[in-house]
């Protein structure tokens, strides 16, 4: 092996190089180090290499997401076991009982499991029931497994659906002028707006299409309700079926939902990113787990379509 030399420095007591076969002798001063390192090697060679990504919580078992809506005939709640891997979908079997209880009357229903592929081939356990949901009524939904672990959420449904006023028509064809392609919506009798969506119906090249657009962020709270200005051109442009910005639309309707009295005060979260509201310490009404099951009340209103002169 070749080693470069540094600047020469005369040294006293020049030592002769070791003879062949004597190369181990100078290791003696390092014996302790050699032994220590050898010991380290032997000690670590048999170390356990296992590692756990998840150490299940003793007091958080399931996540639950859904809404109880008096306006719907079927209620759906997603249930996932926190301790099982769920990134590629839920485990095929989920040995739990999910019950819905009317806290006012004491009446209970057991929800039925449905294994749905909601994204590609990933399966999810969506539990459902056709139990009639009453307005202004407290409900508790509980997930319990055979070991006795339970997760539950309590919510109260709103007393009334929102009163939806579509204050201006949707005019077609769309214009190039900014601000010319909007209609206004007012929601009354709403303390907390849970959702605002616009549904457009199109006939394009002989086929019928339906598009839903989330307008929750377009609404602002005013005294006695909410106002929203809907830019339908920006919605319809994204459908890729609107030609030359002419806005093809057969009909449209507004879908709005009120939140119940325990609906989170989303005002403090409205500017929050999804990452922020997905924090484990974000709002939840789920005990023994994570998620949100809330009471909402939806209603719809048609949007008048007018042709421009």
Partner 1 sequence: MHIDTPTLSVGRLLFLLVGCLLLAGPAVPVCAQEPEDVAIIRGFITDRTDGAPLPEANVVVRDSARIVRAGVSDSDGFYQLPDVPPGTYQFSVRYLGFETYRDTIRFRPGTRTLSVALRPAPQQLDEVTVEAQRDAVEDAQAGLRRIGTADIETLPTPGPGSDLAMYLRSLPSVTSIGDRGGRLFVRGGTPSQNLILVDGTPIKKPFHIIGFYSAFPADVISNANFYAGGFGARYLGRLSSVLDVNLRPGNLKEYQGRVEVGPFVTSVQAEGPVDYGEKSLLVNARHSVIEWAGPDLLGQETPYRFYDLMARLHTQGDKSQCAFTGMRTYDRGRIDASRPSSYRWSNTSVGGKCLSFGSGSSQRVYVSFGTSHFNNSVRTPDQDTRSSGSWDTHATLRIEQPYSWGRVRGGFWGRSTQFDYDFQGTFLGVQAEESFDISAGAFLGAEWNMGSTVTASPSIGTQFPIFWGTNTIEPRLRLAWQPPWAARTKITAAGGLYRQLTDAITDERDAGSPFIAWLQTPQDKALQSTHAILGVDHQLTPNVRLSLEGYHKTFRDLPVSEWSTLAVFNTSLTLADGFAYGGSASARFQTGRLDLRANYGFGWVEYEAPRDELNAWVDESPVEYNPPHDQRHKVGLTASLDLAPFSVSARWQYSSGRPFTQGYGTDNFLEIRGLRGRPRSERGNNRFLYDRQYNARLPSYHRLDVSIERAFTLSPDLTLTAEAGAINAYDRKNLFYLDLLTRERVDQLPIIPHIGFTLDID
**Segment 44-73, which members bind partner 1 (CB under 8 A)?**
44-45, 47-57, 60, 63, 65-67
Tokens matching residue 68: 């109880």
Cα(34)–Cα(27) distance, rounded to whole angstroms? 8
Give the shortest CB-180-to-partner 1 separation in angstroms.
Answer: 27
Instruction: Supply the minimum distance, in Å, between the C-beta of residue 203 and partner 1.
Output: 23
Runs of H (alpha helix) within 204-269? 232-237
Q: Which is nearer to partner 1, 31 or 308 (CB)?
A: 31
Please state, in angstroms and rounded to a whole number, the distance separating the CA atoms of residues 64 and 50. 31
Nearest distance in Å: CB 87, partner 1: 4
- Nearest by Cα to 111 from 84, 133, 138, 85: 133
Q: For 103-151, what is the HEC assignment?
A: CCCCCEEECEEEEEEEECCEEEEEEEECCCCCCCCEEEEEEEECCCCEE
Nearest distance in Å: CB 45, partner 1: 7
* Alpha carbons within 13 A on the beta-carbon side of 36: 5
Q: Which of residues 143-172 bind partner 1 (CB under 8 A)?
A: none
Of 219 and 247, CB closest to partner 1 = 219
CA distance 298 to 176: 34
Report 16-45 residues binding partner 1 (CB under 8 A): 17-18, 20, 23, 26-27, 29-30, 33-34, 37, 40-41, 44-45
Binding status of residue 76 toward partner 1 by CB under 8 A: yes
With contacts defined by CB under 8 A, name the span among 93-101, 134-142, 194-202, 238-246 that binds partner 1: 194-202
Residue 238: both structure tokens together: 């994204």
Nearer to partner 1, 135 or 264 (CB): 264
> What is the footprint of partner 1 within residues 207-266 (CB under 8 A)?
214, 216-217, 257, 264, 266
Size of the site for partner 1 (CB under 8 A): 85
């Amino acid at each position: 092996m070749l080693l470069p030399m540094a600047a020469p420095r005369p040294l006293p007591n020049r030592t002769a190089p070791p003879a062949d076969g004597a190369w181990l002798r100078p290791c003696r001063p390092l014996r302790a180090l050699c032994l220590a390192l050898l010991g380290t090697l032997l000690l670590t060679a048999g170390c356990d290499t296992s590692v756990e990504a998840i150490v299940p919580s003793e007091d958080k078992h399931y996540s639950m997401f859904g809404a109880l809506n008096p306006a719907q005939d079927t209620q759906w709640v997603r249930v996932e076991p926190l301790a099982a891997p769920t990134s590629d979908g839920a485990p095929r079997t989920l040995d739990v009982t999910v019950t819905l209880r009317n806290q006012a009357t004491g009446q209970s229903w057991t929800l039925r499991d449905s294994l749905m592929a909601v994204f590609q081939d990933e399966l999810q356990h969506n539990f459902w029931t056709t139990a009639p949901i009453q307005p202004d009524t407290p409900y508790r939904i509980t997930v319990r497994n055979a070991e006795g672990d339970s997760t539950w959420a309590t919510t109260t449904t709103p007393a009334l659906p929102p009163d939806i006023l579509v204050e201006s028509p949707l005019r077609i064809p769309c214009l190039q002028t900014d601000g010319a392609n909007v209609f206004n919506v007012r929601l009354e009798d709403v303390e907390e707006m849970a959702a605002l969506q616009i549904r457009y119906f199109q006939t394009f090249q002989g086929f019928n299409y339906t598009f839903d657009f989330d307008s929750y962020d377009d609404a602002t709270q005013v005294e006695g309700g909410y106002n929203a200005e809907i830019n339908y051109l920006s919605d319809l442009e994204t459908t890729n079926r609107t030609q030359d910005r002419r806005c093809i639309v057969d009909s449209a309707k507004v879908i709005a939902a009120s939140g119940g009295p325990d609906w989170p005060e989303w005002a403090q979260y409205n500017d929050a990113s999804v990452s922020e509201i997905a924090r484990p310490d974000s709002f939840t009404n789920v005990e023994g787990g994570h998620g949100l099951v809330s009471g909402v009340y939806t209603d719809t209103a048609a949007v008048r379509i007018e042709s421009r002169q």
